[in-house]
Amino acid sequence: MKNLPVLLLALSFCSCANHSEPDKVLKDFDSVNQSLKEIDSKYGQSTSSLYDSLKKKLGESRLGLFQLTISNCKSYLEDLQRRFKIFCGDSSGISLPENSEDNISLTNRFFENKQGPAGHLLPNLEEVKKVSLDNTDNPVLEEQIKNMVRTPPGKDFIELYFYNAPPIAVLTILSKFAVDINNIELKILLEQLNK
């Protein structure tokens, strides 16, 4: 799963370069996105009970900032997906219009304004990384946290992850970030509970 952004970008490139099967590629992105959303919804149920257990074990939870940061980033990701769907033509923000799934120009226009809604994506993800690293002693988990978002020196995060990506791929990438955050959150909570 840690190489999913690279895979998604490769699929995005293939969808642009090989027009013989664009519908299949779009369906593959949609399928991955739906699977990630299912995984994401399962995490929410288990983490709330873990927070309750930690509050009983530790009294007033020292994970307050961690919980708030994670919650804020999850809400931000949900809102960013909703705004992107609206930008792509669904006034309700519930689903991506079928005629927009492969419209790369929509993606590029949405993400070109670094001061717009997507401008806070990297700072939110970096804040999650920071509070997560502050709450774990597990070297394997620390490495996973550090690798959640990687941007090579001199590269722009938004351009690297989203430029020229079909809108369905954008939603898949954002869903992948949400699943990564939930996975890290769950592991940290379990680590804290088992101390």
pLDDT band at 34 (very low <50, low <70, confident <90, very high): low
Query: pLDDT for 116-156, tens place per residue?
Result: 899 999 999 999 999 999 999 999 999 999 999 988 999 99
Minimal CA–CA distance to 136: which of 144, 127, 148, 147?
Answer: 144
Q: What are the two backbone dihedrals, phi and then psi, of residue 93, each rounded to the nearest 5 degrees?
A: 75, 20
Domain ranges of the chain: 4-193
